[in-house]
């Protein structure tokens, strides 16, 4: 099926572009739409079909993959185009939108008679480029089964869940962990410097032991260098931290997520919103971070 199937990718940003690239490599016919058309141009050079509008992208496609910034954006774009989506198509919603929005999007699809899979992904730019994402997929079993060729093109693992929202819940749990790690790394490096300890020694000391984390080494390197090459935009991490704190509600004292949110918001206010989330380091440091 994958040789013939057509997939419309709406949103070719940091994640959507490499995901579309993997789908091209896997033999899908890929239509791409992005608000800023220039970001889709490299995919067109590789064989994707540029669509002038999201409606043109989805018309007659077998799959629609949304990888837009957030819930309100996905809602706005898809409300306009759902009438153009084929009745037997599957909408794969991969952006991180949180619990309230995933329910609203599922209802939107249901009202339009379109099959919907709540299918967020774990992994960032580089895993997206190499097809190493983890796809969390929730929805009807037969729709998940039909979507396996798409998921296998973009990911190394599929976590199957039932019931819309289940995948978005798991995604928030995982992102809470990732945000916690990033924030803890920033605090450790900040504390190192405050105490006059070389932060390289922090990374060297944990290296190879149970307390090590490749993730903290990557993000910690960015923090030590004070250079934040974009992999996960900090402002989208702000969005995620808010979604996590909101989801925790009154049930869990999500102190780590609250702290991460405060530090991310401070970094954003300092002008780091469009750099990588590793710039949370700037939000941790109270004075001059150098
Ligand atoms: P990104 O590079 O900032 O891409 C965001 C996309 O949304 C772009 O296509 C952007 O279009 C579009 N967009 C934003 N506002 C819009 C609007 N008002 N109308 C239409 N399009 C709009 O972000 P990303 O990293 O690819 O993230 C996409 C989603 O995946 C987010 O939900 C994010 O939380 C999630 N995610 C990200 C990562 C990661 O590591 N980066 C990992 C897993 C999940 P323009 O190009 O025109 O701005």
Tell me: pLDDT of 77 over 80: yes
Share the mean pLDDT of the chain: 96
Q: Is the pLDDT of residue 240 over 90?
A: yes
- Distance from C-alpha of 244 to C-alpha of 190, rounded to nearest angstrom: 24
Give the tens place of pLDDT for each residue, 149-183. 999 999 999 999 999 899 999 999 999 999 999 99
CA distances from 206 to 84, 199, 211, 212 (A): 53, 11, 6, 5
Is 39 near ligand 1, meaning CB less than 6 Å away? yes
Cβ atoms of 78 and 91 closer than 8 Å? yes
Is 81 touching ligand 1 by the criterion CB < 6 Å? no
Q: Are strands 121-122 and 133-138 parallel, antiparallel or unpaired?
A: antiparallel
Catalytic residue flag (residue 171):
yes
Smallest Cα–Cα separation from 82: which of 55, 50, 115, 49?
Answer: 55
Cα–Cα nearest to 134, from 156, 150, 119, 160 = 156
- Given 171, 219, 239, 286, which residue is catalytic? 171
198: its two tokens:
């070389």
């Amino acid at each position: 099926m994958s040789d013939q199937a057509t997939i419309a990718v709406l949103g070719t940003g940091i994640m959507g572009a490499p995901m579309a690239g993997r789908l091209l490599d896997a033999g899908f016919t890929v239509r791409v739409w992005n608000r800023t058309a220039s970001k889709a141009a490299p995919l067109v050079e590789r064989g994707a079909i540029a669509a002038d509008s999201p409606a043109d992208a989805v018309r007659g496609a077998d799959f629609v993959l949304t990888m837009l910034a957030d819930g309100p954006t996905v809602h706005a774009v898809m409300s306009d185009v759902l009438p153009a989506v084929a009745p037997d198509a599957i909408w794969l919603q991969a952006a991180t939108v949180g619990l309230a929005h995933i329910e609203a999007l599922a209802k939107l699809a249901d009202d339009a008679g379109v099959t919907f899979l709540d299918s967020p992904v774990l992994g960032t730019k580089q895993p997206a480029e190499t097809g190493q994402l983890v796809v969390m997929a929730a929805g009807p079993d037969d729709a998940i089964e039909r979507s396996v060729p798409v998921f296998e093109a973009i990911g190394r693992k599929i976590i199957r869940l039932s019931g819309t929202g289940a995948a978005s819940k798991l995604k928030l749990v995982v992102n809470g962990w990732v945000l916690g790690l990033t924030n803890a790394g920033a605090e450790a490096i900040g504390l190192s410097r405050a105490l006059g300890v070389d932060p390289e020694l922090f990374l060297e000391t944990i290296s190879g032991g149970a307390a090590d984390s490749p993730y903290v080494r990557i993000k910690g390197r960015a923090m030590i260098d004070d250079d934040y090459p974009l992999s996960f935009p900090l402002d989208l991490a702000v969005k995620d931290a808010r979604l996590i704190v909101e989801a925790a509600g009154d049930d869990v004292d999500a102190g780590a997520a609250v702290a991460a949110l405060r530090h991310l918001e401070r970094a954003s206010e300092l002008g780091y919103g469009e750099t990588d989330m590793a710039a949370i380091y700037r939000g941790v440091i109270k004075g001059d971070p150098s």
